[in-house]
Amino acid sequence: MRRALEAAAVIMLAACGGDSGPVEPANNGSIRGIVTDNAGATVANAAVELTGNGQAARTTNSGAEGVYT
């Protein structure tokens, strides 16, 4: 019985193991927000710019209710 358990463990480890190579990070994502003024009112058609480390800037405008994605 013990040998059968050892053999099963070896088979399970062999099936799960192995080097699948390096995993690369995903290069996508999203940001959502609402543009508001100092009084807390939403701002329609506001220019929104996202900048990052060594990345090209992304620009969009907020919608009618101040929402951008």
The Cα diameter of the chain in Å comes to 75
19-57 pLDDT, tens per residue? 566 777 777 888 999 999 999 999 999 999 999 888 889
Q: What is the pLDDT of residue 63?
A: 96
Report pLDDT for 55.
Answer: 82
Query: So what's the pLDDT on residue 22?
Result: 72
Contact 33, 68 (CB under 8 A): yes
DSSP sequence for 3-35: HHHHHHHHHHHHHH-S---PPPPP------EE-
Distance CA 15, CA 20 (A): 12
Per the confidence metrics, is the pTM higher than 0.85?
no
Residue 6, phi then psi, degrees to nearest 5: -65, -45
Quote the pLDDT of residue 61.
96
